[in-house]
Amino acid sequence: MKTNTPSRVAEKRSDSTASPQPLVSCQNVTRQYTRGKKSVLRQRKATQTVTALDDVSLAIDRGEFVGIAGPSGSGKSTLLHLVAGLDTPTRGLLSIDGTDVTTLSAKQRTRLRLETIGIIFQHFYLLSALSARANVAIPLVERGWSKRKRRERATTLLTTVGLDDRITHKPSELSGGEQQRVAIARALATEPDLLIADEPTGELDTATGGSILDLFEELSTDHAVIMASHDERALARTDRVIRLQDGKLIADA
């Protein structure tokens, strides 16, 4: 684990624009899922409630590289989906960059997500028919950028992640690590304050996963990076690890 000395944190935070509130704030956040099950015998609908996140409170600042740890089913993806604005809590308060997301409409949450957050999924979700460059440019179409500007920006981003020689390759022509880098470049396209990655090194070999972690560490100097993982070696690279068990926060250090 990197030692998170006060001076390191102060140095990182002073780089970014000073903001009085944390970038992400969860207060007593609970997320329950209800599964409906029709009971043939009783002729009525039986429901089962799963508490995926249970009364979780935390705050994350700009400049932090935070790991979310816990066994499968402990609530890591649920927490990331909430923080990404893809889902809303059943109870509790959740604010992103000072905006209470629990009061926003789905459309407003989508806008906040497009403006503030970049998401990297475990399975990359690249479009197979498009080149690396066109995949990276997708979020900029939404922004109304011209084709020429989109291409320029996508090329710069692919260079940043070390793929300047893979710009016109299709996903099927790239290795797993290269595809993950394309997904990272795409997440960075809109200059998000917050990068969210769900098990980003899960399917990569140790060396490739290590280079993805190098990139996150570098990015966390001016973005907040939140990474769910059950790989202790990956977690050791973060500034701070939040541990979940059965939806409860059991450690934050």
- Residue pair 175/228 in contact (Cβ under 8 Å)? The answer is no
Report the C-alpha gap between 86 and 209 in whole angstroms: 26
Report the C-alpha gap between 8 and 14 in whole angstroms: 10
Report the C-alpha gap between 176 and 54 in whole angstroms: 34
In angstroms, what is the minimal distance from the CB of 76 to Mg ion?
Answer: 5
Both tokens assigned to 47 = 């429901």
Measured on CA atoms in the order 142, 146, 147, 150, is the torsion positive or negative? negative
In angstroms, what is the minimal distance from the CB of 72 to ligand ADP?
Answer: 4
In angstroms, what is the minimal distance from the CB of 244 to Mg ion?
Answer: 10
In angstroms, what is the minimal distance from the CB of 202 to ligand ADP?
Answer: 11
Q: Which does 125 bind (CB under 5 to 8 A by kind): Mg ion, ligand ADP, none?
A: none
Report the C-alpha gap between 83 and 108 in whole angstroms: 14
Residue 80 or 185 having the CB closest to ligand ADP: 80
DSSP code string of 23-50? SEEEEEEEEEEEEEEEETTTTEEEEEEE
Report the C-alpha gap between 27 and 60 in whole angstroms: 12
Both tokens assigned to 87 = 């889902």
* Contacting ligand ADP within 7-36 (CB under 6 A): 33, 35
* Contacting ligand ADP within 50-109 (CB under 6 A): 50, 52, 70, 72-78
* Contacting Mg ion within 56-115 (CB under 5 A): 76-77
Residue 30 or 211 having the CB closest to ligand ADP: 30
Task: Check residue 123 for interaction with ligand ADP (CB under 6 A).
Answer: no
Q: Which does 72 bind (CB under 5 to 8 A by kind): Mg ion, ligand ADP, none?
A: ligand ADP
Given the rule CB under 6 A, which residues bind ligand ADP? 33, 35, 50, 52, 70, 72-78
Given the rule CB under 5 A, which residues bind Mg ion? 76-77
